[in-house]
């Protein structure tokens, strides 16, 4: 019974020497809330809100949205919930916020936060719904932010509604390179390694043929993460990771070694990441991160990091 209890242990994320790393869930709709809670997530690090908007001719009302956000908070009575504002564009077209007529490269077009320069009302309603929830456990962040000016614009809209815990995703290389400037405008950042990789390597994330470039162990991606996490450390503001990279137990240790304070992932990945992190000290994670960044290839970075993470086998 003891062994069973230990193997299903779902306590808070931490390294072997007790450095706390909250392990959070990426959630894409209300149906996944229960999975996330059941897997022992300590909160939601990325609540993708596209599900509320897709397949509709009109945006959901403020009241409908408020209920959805309250439901997410109710699923995690003790945890924080990071709600990401609508990430429209590219593969997610929406009739009520149409793309500009000619967009030869939608992934490089008016997507994410950018779209709401032309449709501020949709953003106003979403932020209004979030403010109406009125919870201190609620955090709000914007996708696809490229510059500090965009981060400041979003933060200003949020604060005008009374929202106090405001962040942005770092998923465009320019934002990682100037993360210090971006952080000056917001309370926290969350690194989205999926798009950060796509844009750093100029390789469409949906193209299987590009998978070698999307390997999240690519040293150039680790460098960008290190830049952003380092800037957050200097600013004294939280920096999480919410891309797929956090779901790999060895890479999760490396990301912590690079300075990530929280990791958010698919609920199914939580147990292995919790165990991997709990088996290594913060110093081991830092050493693994250091040697990984010294390599030239993703494969070498993975192999070099593993030497310092012996418990992962």
Among 45, 11, 14, 48, CA closest to 28: 48
User: Mask: binding to ligand PEP, 218-247, rule CB under 6 A, as x and -?
Assistant: ------------------------xx----
Angle at the Cα of 188 (from 73 to 38), degrees rounded to 5?
A: 30
The whole-angstrom separation of Cα 102 and Cα 123 is: 23
Strand duo 23-27 + 81-84: pairing: unpaired
Alpha helices in 165-269 (DSSP H): 173-177, 179-185, 193-200, 211-214, 219-235, 249-257
Question: Which of 32, 42, 150, 171 touches ligand PEP by CB under 6 A?
Answer: 171
Q: Which two tokens stand for residue 135?
A: 């919870």
Contact 158, 116 (CB under 8 A): no
Task: Consult the annotation and say whether 50 binds a ligand.
Answer: no
The one-character DSSP state at 61 is P
Interaction mask 137-156, Mg ion, x per CB under 5 A: --------------------
- CA 189, distance to chain mean position in Å, is 8
Binding ligand PEP (rule: CB under 6 A), the pick from 193, 262, 284, 295 is 193
Which one from 158, 242, 253, 285 is the annotated catalytic residue?
242
26 is in an annotated binding site: no
171 carries a ligand binding annotation: yes
Q: Site mask, ligand PEP, residues 16-55, x = CB under 6 A? A: ------------------------------x-x-------
Place of tokens 């193997």: 7
242 is catalytic: yes
Residue least distant from ligand PEP (Cβ): 192
Residue 116: CB minimum distance to Mg ion, A? 16
Does 248 bind ligand PEP (CB under 6 A)? Our answer is: no
The residue behind tokens 């932020």 is 127
**Number of residues located near ligand PEP, criterion CB under 6 A:** 10
Contact positions toward Mg ion, by CB under 5 A?
A: 171, 192, 195
Contact positions toward ligand PEP, by CB under 6 A?
A: 46, 48, 87, 171, 192-195, 242-243
Active site residues: 242
């Amino acid at each position: 019974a003891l062994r069973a209890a230990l193997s299903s242990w779902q306590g808070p994320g931490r390294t072997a020497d007790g450095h706390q790393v909250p392990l959070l869930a990426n959630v894409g709709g209300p149906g996944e809330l229960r999975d996330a809670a059941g897997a022992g997530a300590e909160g939601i690090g990325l609540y993708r809100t596209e599900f509320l908007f897709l397949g509709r001719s009109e945006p959901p009302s403020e009241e409908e949205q408020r209920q959805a956000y309250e439901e997410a908070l109710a699923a995690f009575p003790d945890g924080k919930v990071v709600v990401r504002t609508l990430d429209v564009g590219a593969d997610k077209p929406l009739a009520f916020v149409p793309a500009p007529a000619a967009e030869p490269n939608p992934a490089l077009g008016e997507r994410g936060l950018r779209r709401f320069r032309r449709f501020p009302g949709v953003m106003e309603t979403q932020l209004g719904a979030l403010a109406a929830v009125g919870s201190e456990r609620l955090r709000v962040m914007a996708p696809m932010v490229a510059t500090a000016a965009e981060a400041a614009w979003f933060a200003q809209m949020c604060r005008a509604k009374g929202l106090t815990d405001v962040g942005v995703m770092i998923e465009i290389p320019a934002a990682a390179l100037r993360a210090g400037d971006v952080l000056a405008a917001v309370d926290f950042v969350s690194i989205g390694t999926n798009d950060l990789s796509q844009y750093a390597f100029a390789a469409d994330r949906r193209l299987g043929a590009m998978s070698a470039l999307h390997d999240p162990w690519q040293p150039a991606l680790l460098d960008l993460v290190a830049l952003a996490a380092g800037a957050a450390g200097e600013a004294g503001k939280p920096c999480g990771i919410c891309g797929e990279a956090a779901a790999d137990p060895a890479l999760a240790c490396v990301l912590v070694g690079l300075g990530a304070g929280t990791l958010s992932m698919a609920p199914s990945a939580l147990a292995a990441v919790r165990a991997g992190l709990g088996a290594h000290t913060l110093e081991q994670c830092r050493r693994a991160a250091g040697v990984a960044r010294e390599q030239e290839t993703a494969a070498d970075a993975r192999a070099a990091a593993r030497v310092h993470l012996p418990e992962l086998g």
